[in-house]
Amino acid sequence: MTATQPGVSTALVYDESLGAYDLDPAHPLRPERVSLTIDLIRAYGLLANGALELVAPRPASSAELLMAHDARYIETVIEASAAPGWWRPRRGIGPGDTPEFAGMHDAAALVAGATTVAAEYVCDGRSRRAFSPAGGLHHAHRDRAAGFCVYNDVAVAIAAMLHRDPDLRILYLDIDAHHGDGVQEAFYEEPRVLTISLHEDGRYLYPGTGSARERGAGAGLGSAINLPMPPYATDECYRLAFERVVAPAARESRPDVIVTQNGADAHWSDPLTTLGQTIAGYEWLFARSVELAEEVCDGRLVACGGGGYAWATVVPRVWTLLASALAGVTLPDELPAEWRERVRALGYEPPASLRGDDGPAHTHAQRTSVLEATGRVIDEVVRSRSL
């Protein structure tokens, strides 16, 4: 791995062409969650002042896609891209979660390439940290689409990093409300990749996987850690999980690079999930992730976006705070007027401030109960890793 040069700004891998990943105008995974994030980042001046360096994405090559997906599946995606409306559903593509659309292969390959570029910037030493906000499509499997995800950009990027440097050790941390099943599956027997997923318990939320008993297999036994969070899990629950499991596992595994998936759908107001994170809770997690990267791998961190279905009012604020943490900048709480007007023009009442958040209406007893339930999950994980 190339030594990182001091003072290099954080890479932001994005251009407007990434908005082509649009499953349907009525689909909950809106490309505007990314474009509104970029608008807010610009409005705060993070590009103009050099805190972030805008980097153009490129499509993932066929060779790179084949590192995470089988050839027949890629052929299927290409076929579906050319036949929207006439498609016979197969390999997870069709009505429902992941419908076909014109240009789907090109759009999905560009997302995969964007995250791969972010990984290259960090591994080559061009930047200590990089952000691929359109990335984080963590449900796609080797042979099928799933959960709004066509190609698994995270798995493609990690596989590409390992291909370039076989001695690399990678920690993947996923805080999306949904279990990072596709990434876990891709590296379940790979000892060089430790996957950690904090997600709503699969007994209550898609994809139904991610129990604490899923720990890896074969040579990769112990290389998967799952923390199924109870419904309504609060900021306190996430902090406890981070300090008791994530940080110790990172110190033990000593990765060369940390890759994070930062779905904003664990927020208490998300319409598709029932967790209890707040904006402040996310900001804390981002700060700690950066601190942990500084501690264990000289700050090398590749961050992706992910889910988030309060796409106009929550996701852009969460991911702008992620960008500011990666850049080492503290943002004022007052939202720029031009961004508030953009949100209003889309038919939404803009938030009052960057960090403003009422939070879930838990009683003291409820907060205590959910914290105790989280503690039991953490205890199970800690015991299993000490065996």
Q: Which residues are catalytic?
A: 139
How crowded is the C-beta side of 373, counted as CA atoms within 13 Å?
15
Torsion angles phi and psi, residue 42, rounded to 5: -65, -45
CA neighbor of 93 nearest in space, from 25, 24, 155, 18: 24
User: 315: which 2 tokens?
Assistant: 């996701």
Q: Are 112 and 157 in contact (CB under 8 A)?
A: yes
Q: How many residues are present in the chain? A: 387
Q: What is the torsional sign of CA 247, 253, 259, 264?
A: negative
Radius of gyration of the chain (CA): 19
